Structure 1
Amino acid sequence: MSLVSNSAPSDLRIYKPTIIAGCPQTKELSESRAHVLQKIQSGYRKARKLLEARGGKAPACSSLCLGLLDPVSNLVINNLISYKRKRKRNCKPSRVCEVGEEEDLERRSLDGMVAFLTRLFPDLAESQAVRYLYLADADAVVAAVIIVSHVGMKRFDNSDPAVMEMALLKCAVLAAGHPDADRVVCAWRNISSRMEKVLCLLTRLSGNPPAHYSVTAIDILSRMLNEGAPFDCEEDMSWVWQLANARCPSPCSVPYRHTRLLSRTLHDAIHAFYLQALARLPAGELCSRFHRSLLKGGYCYGPLDPVSNIIINTIWYDAVFPPSKTLELDIIGMESLQRMENRSVYGLASFLCTRYHHFSFQQAVRCLLKADANLVLADHNLDPAAFGTMGCGPPLFSTAQPQGPPNTGVDKAFFAAAKAACHPNPEAQVKLLTSCKAMLGSAMSLLQDSSKLSSQDVQRLAMLLCPESPSGETGALPLKGYRHVHTRISKKVNALLNAYENMPNGDPKFKLHVICGVNDQVSCSTSDLPRGHHHSHVNFLATPKSQCGGGVPTLFFAEISNSYEDASFCRPVPLPLPCAAQVRCLHCEFMGTRIVHPVGMDFHGGESEFEKMACRKYPYDDDVGNMDIINHRFNLAESIYGSVIEDSLYDDLDGHKSKERDLSSMSIDAKILLLAKNA
């Protein structure tokens, strides 16, 4: 995604979102596609020559250039897979390709490679996938390695292995129109735990001149592929990426600037920081008042680490601008939270670009990803002493940090951040951020500890940040407006949590801390249900009741059935690592909600839906493709303007009603026009 600078004083650099996608032009795409097809064609020639010279058969009409190794090795392995059952198509997988059929195989192989990449990376358009395949010479896994580097996913190797499992290969094979995708995946799974031996056999086959034992190598490979995996073998996919890294040209020049992909990684990382901050705030204050101040002024930029900045900004806003009344609410509005996260992204980037005028938005985002959205690490001139004590010396961030002295002072940079982030009172926030470290003094230790803050802790922080806090609430406010949604979700979540796990005395093991993500539009829409959709996906934090749990909240995922036919369930999920791969859900991505999903578990919107989309059997009423999902998600998930229905909850608390436009009821076309007008 590209961004443009607002009209502002010459020393400020304020950025906001635009609708520019950054996809390649038709001519460039055509040239890239032709190059990739040429490389695939070369792979077929090499594989045919290799197999025929060693007594094997030429590539069969089902031998696609798809797999987890280099293109030629993929063709050799796929050609040795045996098929015993009757195929759905008329052609038999073992039949050798006739004249003209190989060209179709090359095209289908490219379709499969594109599906592999778009399945692995959210927001990656098919045209962009072709670009990266061009850079990788038609090696899909090497293309993935290049994308990981380009979009700033520095913890990709630390992602849960199940995020990168064989399901990726199955989607690719289905998209290529293979008649038996399950058999292909099974064969690759058979050799996955014995890849060292497989590589030795492939090396034998590629020897020149052909040796007699190369024929034996073909027989051994064939047995390994078709006779099953060793007993009790564990599926470890790390070898895929290790081998791809070895094949990847180093350094790999990436001439493209897909800022939207880079920005997506930063958005996801910041959502992880907000989940951490919610887990640290005490449940009582969070449900009575901090849910409001977090959504009004809880930005993640500031002079501390992102989580501490969120906590400080939230506590300070509540103390300086207290609500006129209290509202008990155990749910954080998803749309409001995402808007706050989006505003934080533009605040962070505008801070850096204002401090260093030669920095572009794209460079600022890359710098922030390397620094984990920590301005102290991204800009060592912000606090040189703190930078030196964090164990992150200049060499680590030298490629990302701006060079030279800053062009503006910290106060102007924070003002630019507050303006870009639509802060209700930018001047007041600048005073806070430029002085909070001195105001907190020894209380800074409360923020440096990762444990949950107590009510006494937040009261102490509030007194230090705002010694003369104005008088606050005058009474309680009944829940209204969005009551039917909040009440229904809250009841369902509490029921699931109570039934999830019990202590020895029979009491529930967990109690609800806060609900921090809801998508109530999962599965196909229907007029038979009150909510219009069959399921809802929910994230919530729950605290163990026993002392041995340490009182630290655990993140949960819940799939809630809106009908009586399907069962609801909840499962703990780890807090997401910033800049790592995440478990994908087609329905949540379509709606633009950042819900954390479980690994290795079936849920609506998971593997089966992605497989249907690969087969062009879409889970929606209309034909919805990858680009439709990308555009729909972007228009819902990355806006910083306007209000949402959830804002009406706080109208009476603040003594006024929101004057911003309600985007929730607008059509996608209307949102696009509004974004274009504001650009």
Structure 2
Amino acid sequence: MLLQHDLYYEEVEALDPESDRTQAALEWAATMAGHPSPGVLTKLMSSRLKEDDFHFLEKLLFSAADAPLKVDDVGAIDRVLREMMSPPCLATIIHTRKGPILHVRKNLDAVWSTTPSTTEDTCRITSTALSLDGKPISSLQCGLPDKLQRCLGRADGLEQYLKKTPCSGHACDYLQTLKMRLQGMIHNFCIKALKLLPTPSGSLMRGFLMAGHCYGSMDPVSNIIANSIWYNSHSCPLPESERSKIEKYNDILDPHSLLRTQVHSLKGLMELAAFAGPQFSTEAGALELLCGARCDIVDMLPSSPEMLEKKNPFHEAAKAAGHPLPLQLGELHRLLLLMPDERSALLSLMTEARTGRTMLRLDDMTLHMRRMWLKCSATKTGGIVRAPKLFPESRKLVSSMRSKYEERRNWFRSKIEQVLKDYTTQHFWEPKYKLDIISGVEAINQGRPPWVRCATA
């Protein structure tokens, strides 16, 4: 909670603990964490407190003095929670000659809103809604910010010490925290980019995983899309005949594929941040700059032709990120930075897609970048790289791997589509969901829960 307060307090909206989706996620998290009773925890988080009980717990948990809880306090909280978690009522159905009659006996120790109903039609199914009239227990977090502020205030001396004491490499929790936050940002950028790509994406998905890094001369999401399209159309070593064979392979089954793209992007961003100023040349300075700017630092980079010709920051970033063709990528973004009209034209095409006015016009973007590339930099960077032909043994291996991928892909898609179909049937009043792209399928432990695999779509 301290970490969330420090990094995300202004950004994160509170989740609704009573929604089916949040409860399912909470139960899954508790199960994976080894909680002894995941179902009980989930039920507790979606429960409601009577008004008096709510203020009583709020006073105990968030008192101004922050005194430790006493034994009597813990006992009082336990009694409140036990009462809240007890069944709201006892309901029985009696079958008579006039039809079934529903009897509901309220719990007299709590305030419950109930609508008992009876029916004399034996063919009619009658339901009774029962709910606790009170505040959600999750609302107790309203007292958390003040308590955390007092906690951080008492730690002011430690904070001053940490500012004077430099972090020691990878062992520094602060730097690891910044990296984790940036990895979360980059993951969100990748998901937003995937939403804009047409389905099936075909060989473009390969370009996305190989070279869809988020650094460049535009905002992170636009950089991912432009870098993916550029690599696929200009620098993908696969010949056109090979690309057509992977046209339908648009799902990501191995989550490490997407993770590698994100890790490489962060390395490139950190190298790029050093060009924004000498104060950002250290690891801590670069990470803090990227967190504050949400990875969008292109306006802080040198943009004069002389500076870019002397040392291309995008080339250095691509080398640090392990990009397959760093020289070509650096030259692409150097040209875009020196040609604002061309850059604006590309951004406008992506803005139309991001605002929902039109689909992403891949052909127009490809043609636009090809003309600019051939006109200005083909001779400088050596043109388009082509892959050599495979030996028969290698071709056979690649063919076998494609067949296995397609088999697994079809199996996962059928299972996920069935889940979505069942959900739509059970929740017919909600929108109908359609599976576009699988972004990762991850194997889980063989203990609890009993499922063998979990797919994230």
Give the TM-score normalised by structure 1.
Answer: 0.42
Q: Which amino acid aligns with 1:307?
A: V
Name which of 300, 320, 328 aligns with 1:380: 300
Give the one of 126, 142, 148 matched to 2:4.
Answer: 148
* Partner Cα distance (2:62, 2:255) in 1: 53
Task: Tell whether 2:221 aligns with 1:301.
Answer: no
* Other-structure match for 2:441: 518
Question: Which residue pairs with 1:319 in the alignment?
Answer: 233
Q: 1:510 and 1:503, CA in 2 relative to 1: closer, same or farther beyond 3 A?
A: farther
Q: Deviations over 1:298-352 (max 9, x none)?
A: 1111122211111111111112124322202131242221101110011101111
What secondary structure is seen at the aligned counterpart in 2 of 1:315? helix
SS at match of 1:518: strand
Contact persistence 2:308–2:334 (CA under 8 A) = no
Aligned mate of 2:133, from 232, 235, 253: 232
Specify the SS of the correspondent of 2:436: strand
Distance in 1 (alpha carbons) for counterparts of 2:258 and 2:313? 24
Equivalent residues in 2 for 1:440-451, closer than 5 Å: 440-449=343-352, 450-451=354-355
Name 1:435's counterpart in structure 2.
Answer: 335
Q: 1:416 aligns with which of 295, 316, 321?
A: 316
CA distance in 2, matches of 1:430, 1:517: 30
Q: Contact (CA 8 Å) 2:62, 2:144: kept in 1 or not?
A: no
1:57-88 deviations in Å (ceiling 9; x for gaps): xxxxxxxxxxxxxxxxxxxxxxxxxxxxxxxx
What is the aligned partner in structure 1 of residue 417 from structure 2? Answer: 494
Corresponding residue of 2:265: 344
Corresponding residue of 2:250: 330
**Structure with the greater relative contact order (CA < 8 A, sep ≥ 6): 1 or 2?**
1
State the identity %.
21
Residue in structure 1 matched with residue 405 of structure 2 by the alignment: 482
Residue 291 (structure 2) aligned to one of 369, 373, 396? 369
> Within 1, Cα distance between the matches of 2:147 and 2:265?
35
Give the stretch that moved more between structures: 299-308 or 218-227.
Answer: 218-227
CA apart distance, 1:249? 3.2
Q: Which amino acid aligns with 1:448?
A: T
Offset, 1:430: 1.0
Letter in 2 for 1:365: L
Q: Taking structure 1 as reference, are residues 525 and 480 closer, same or farther at Cα in structure 2, changes over 3 Å only?
A: farther
Distance 1:411 1:149, change over 3 A: farther
- Note the C-alpha offset of 1:441: 3.2
CA distance in 2, matches of 1:361, 1:220: 49
Quote how far apart the aligned CAs of 1:372 are: 1.6
What is the CA–CA distance in structure 2 between the aligned matches of 1:413 and 1:193, rounded to whole Å? 61
Higher helix share: 2
- 2:369 is aligned to 465
Match of 1:310 among 224, 234, 243: 224
Q: What secondary structure is seen at the aligned counterpart in 2 of 1:493?
A: helix
Equivalent residue, structure 1, for 2:198 = 282
CA gap 1:149/1:492 in 2 versus in 1, 3 angstroms: same
Alpha-carbon distance in 1 for matches of 2:287, 2:80: 46
* Distance change >3 Å, CA 410–CA 363, structure 1 → 2: farther
Q: CA deviation at 1:166?
A: 9.8
Deviation at 1:512, TM superposition (A): 2.9
2:438 maps to 1:538: no
Q: Report the Cα distance in structure 1 between the residues aligned to 2:312 and 2:229, rounded to whole angstroms.
A: 23
Work out the CA distance in 2 between the residues paired with 1:160 and 1:418: 38
Question: Residue type of the partner of 2:217?
Answer: P
Q: Is the 8 A contact 1:267 1:345 kept in 2?
A: yes
CA–CA distance in structure 1, aligned partners of residues 278 and 231 of structure 2: 30
Could you tell me how far apart the structure 1 residues matched to 2:234 and 2:83 are? 70
Report the Cα distance in structure 2 between the residues aligned to 1:428 and 1:415, rounded to whole angstroms. Answer: 8
Pairwise CA distance, 1:495 = 3.4
Give 1:372's aligned amino acid: R
Hey, what's the Cα distance between the residues in 1 that align with 2:427 and 2:82?
49
The residue number in structure 2 matching 1:158 is 13
Q: Is 1:270 matched up with 2:170?
A: no
Looking at structure 1, the residues matched to 421 and 447 of structure 2 have their Cα atoms a distance apart, in angstroms, of 29
Q: How far, CA to CA, are the matches of 1:439 and 1:419 in structure 2? A: 25
Cα deviation, residue 295, structure 1:
1.2
Q: Does the Cα contact within 8 Å between 2:275 and 2:301 map onto a contact in 1?
A: no
Whichever residue aligns with residue 249 of structure 1, its letter is: L
The answer to whether the 8 A contact 1:280-1:453 is kept is no
- Give the 3 Å change call, closer, same or farther, for CA 383–523 of structure 1 in structure 2: same
Distance in 1 between the 2:199 and 2:364 partners? Answer: 16
Give per-residue Cα distances to partners, 1:471-526, cap 9 Å, x unaligned: 999xxx96335344333223323333444426999xx944432111110x223179
How many pairs align?
338
Structure of greater Rg: 2
Cα separation, 1, equivalents of 2:361 and 2:320: 31
Structure 2 unaligned blocks of 5 or more: 66-72, 85-109, 112-131, 375-383, 388-397
Instruction: Tell me: CA distance 1:200–1:511, structure 2 relative to 1, closer, same or farther (3 Å).
Output: closer
Q: Deviations over 1:514-573 (max 9, x none)?
A: 111110x223179xxxxxx94222222xxxxxxxxxxxxxxxxxxxxxxxxxxxxxxxxx
Q: CA RMSD in A?
A: 4.7
Query: What SS does the corresponding residue of 2:446 show, helix, strand or coil?
Result: strand
SS in structure 2 at match of 1:538: strand
Q: Counterparts in 2 of 1:617-628, with a 5 A limit?
A: none
Question: How far, CA to CA, are the matches of 1:410 and 1:192 in structure 2?
Answer: 68
After superposition, the Cα gap between the structure-2 partners of 1:459 and 1:408, relative to the gap in structure 1 and judged at 3 Å, is closer
1:396-437 CA-partner distances (Å, limit 9, x unpaired) = xxxxxxxxxxx9889532122101111111111112112235
Does the 8 Å CA contact 2:275/2:313 hold for their aligned counterparts? yes
CA distance in 1, matches of 2:61, 2:419: 51
Report what 1:243 is aligned to.
146
Change (3 A) 1:523 1:166: closer
Residue 199 to residue 424, structure 1, CA distance change in 2 (3 Å): closer
Structure 1 residue 442 displacement after superposition: 3.4
Q: SS state of the match for residue 294, structure 2?
A: coil
Q: Is the 8 A contact 2:276 2:301 kept in 1?
A: no
Report SS of the residue matched to 1:245.
Answer: helix
Deviation at 1:224, TM superposition (A): 5.1
In structure 2, do the counterparts of structure 1 residues 499 and 358 end up closer, same or farther at CA, with 3 Å as the change threshold? same
1:166-245 equivalence runs, <5 A: 190=49, 194-198=53-57, 227-228=83-84, 231-233=132-134, 234-237=136-139, 238-245=141-148
Q: CA shift at 1:272, angstroms? A: 1.2
Aligned-residue offset at 1:366 = 2.2
| TM-score normalised to structure 2 length | 0.60
Residues 555-595 of structure 1 deviation map (CA, whole Å, 9 limit, x = unaligned): xxxxxxxxxxxxxxxxxxxxxxxxxxxxxxxxxxxxxxxxx
Asked if the contact 1:411–1:434 (Cα under 8 Å) also holds between the matched residues in 2, the reply is: no
> C-alpha distance in 1, partners of 2:447/2:184?
27
- SS where residue 438 of structure 2 aligns? strand
